[in-house]
Structure 1
Amino acid sequence: MIGGFNPLHEWWKMKSYTKWYHYFWAMPLIAIGLAVAWVVLTIFDTVYGFIDSFKK
């Protein structure tokens, strides 16, 4: 490398990376967030379709 700079050199020693066991509580939160977004969009689409059926 030019000047010996390699940002990925010994990346596993960096303290800023998330520990592997943190994913056990992060993944359910992400799944819950996606489920809530899916329910909200489904309800919105159903209500919008119901209102739109009266316009025709």
Structure 2
Amino acid sequence: MDEKRFEVVYKQTVSFSTEVRILRDKVTGVHYLINWTGQGGGITPLLNAEGKPVVSFD
């Protein structure tokens, strides 16, 4: 498979070693919030105001 499943839709550098990104899964349309600082990080589905996952197929 040559096409990448995830695309970066937003990227913000918070400080020298901290970055936040929002990825979109092209298959499901679900957006994920990724945060990492130095050697550690985390990932979680991005939720809207109603607590449901943000989904888009742009």
TM range (shorter): under 0.3
User: Normalised by the size of structure 2, how large is the TM-score?
Assistant: 0.18
Question: Which is helix-richer, 1 or 2?
Answer: 1
Q: Which has the higher contact order (CA 8 A, sep 6+)?
A: 2
Question: Which is strand-richer, 1 or 2?
Answer: 2
